[in-house]
Amino acid sequence: MKTPAVYINLEHIKENASRLIDRCNKRGIKLTGVVKGAAGDVRVARAFVQGGIRSIGDSRLRNIIKFRQEGFNEEMVLLRLPQLSDIERVVKYVDICLVSELVTIKALSREAHKNRKKMGIILMVDVGDLREGVLPEDLLDFTAEIIDLPGIVFKGLGTNVGCYGGVLPTRENTEILVELTKKIENKFDLKLPLISGGNTATTILLDDELPEGINNLRVGEAILQGTDITNQRLIEGLNHHNFVLKASIIEIKEKPSVPKGVTGHDAFGKKPRFEDKGIRKRAILAAGRQDVKVDGLTPLLAGVEIIGASSDHLLLDVTDSAEKLKVGDKLAFNLDYGAMLALMTSEYVHKHYIH
């Protein structure tokens, strides 16, 4: 089998989608399955659909276009705020997009009206993470500018935490959306059908802390990996680590643990530090920083330690390995979300599917 390769358990992903849908249904929550972590992989997106997902979210417009061309008829949600240069294609291929800029919404309105279409929007509100969104105090004035735009269907409000500022979802910051929705509905005499309360991190509130009124979550990591990196947890009842890296040993030798000679900075501008452990057995794998986020890897073989990486080489200390290793052997690693995302994006990494 060719390496480096990421092994993808489609059956486990499908099961995770189904289990999360069941949990959300009990709370009256519509689940948007976020496939962006799989970098437009059609087979992974199909596993979401086979698990019952009827609303698919992705941050890359080109992936949504690919899904449409592959015959996907599910609702498509564009998660990254639209670029003005993409407006024509957004209206053509997307059902709902997240927005926060008036100029963008007006451009969507013109294009949708021209083509006699309706463009759904979820207006994002910044509740503290400082990524995208209108500030709560500006929301009513902002809403007054968009409610009568032709071709626009104002679906509701949304928010995002955890992805940039590391702000954790709480009942308090999520409830802001519910209160703001009530203010908009009362002031403008309208009904907003969606309150999109967050991402995988927000699922920690599902059992008893999620405010009444939240009726949509946009979830990717939990379905793909069964993990929640923001809250540092494995999600109970889901399949975990459904993406595994395997890479081949291309060199294995005993070497000193500290480089010899005058040292400067490495190829990534960092000044490395080394602990002198004497002579150690070191293995080099055919994978590197161009392929993966190295600090997101966890070796599955006991006694193996990652000690560094260059663009193309992953360096390991295998002195205490539970198995005797040789050139050509393949080592496996669990992945965090960032490592999975990088591997799925890299064209140099083979993809193998487990059904």
The three-state (H, E, C) secondary structure of 305-316, written as one string: EEEEECCCCEEE
> pLDDT tens across 262-299, in order?
666 666 677 777 777 899 999 999 999 999 999 999 99
Tell me whether residue 2 is in a domain.
no
Residues 15 and 140 in one domain: yes
- Residue 114 a catalytic site member: no
> pLDDT tens across 180-203, in order?
999 999 999 999 999 999 999 999
Residues 323 and 252 in one domain: yes
Enumerate residues 6+ apart whose C-beta is below 8 A from 126.
132, 133, 134, 135, 136, 159
The pTM of the full predicted model, rounded to 2 decimals, is: 0.94
Greatest Cα pair distance, the chain, in angstroms, is 75
pLDDT of residue 267: 65
- Residue 63 belongs to domain spanning: 9-234
CATH number at residue 267: 2.40.30
- Report how many domains make up the chain: 2
Q: Which amino acid is at 268?
A: F
Residues 191 and 278 in one domain: no
Of 39, 49, 26, 38, residue with least CA distance to 225: 38
Write b or e for each residue in 67-94: b if 16 or more Cβ atoms lie within 10 A of its Cβ, otherwise e.
beeeebebbbbbbebbeeebbebbbebb
Q: Which of 36, 187, 253, 326 is catalytic?
A: 36
Residues 185 and 324 in one domain: no
Tell me the Cα Rg of the chain: 23
3 state SS of 353: strand
Q: Which of 179, 211, 234 is the last residue of a domain?
A: 234
Residues 58 and 178 in one domain: yes
Tell me whether residue 296 is in a domain.
yes
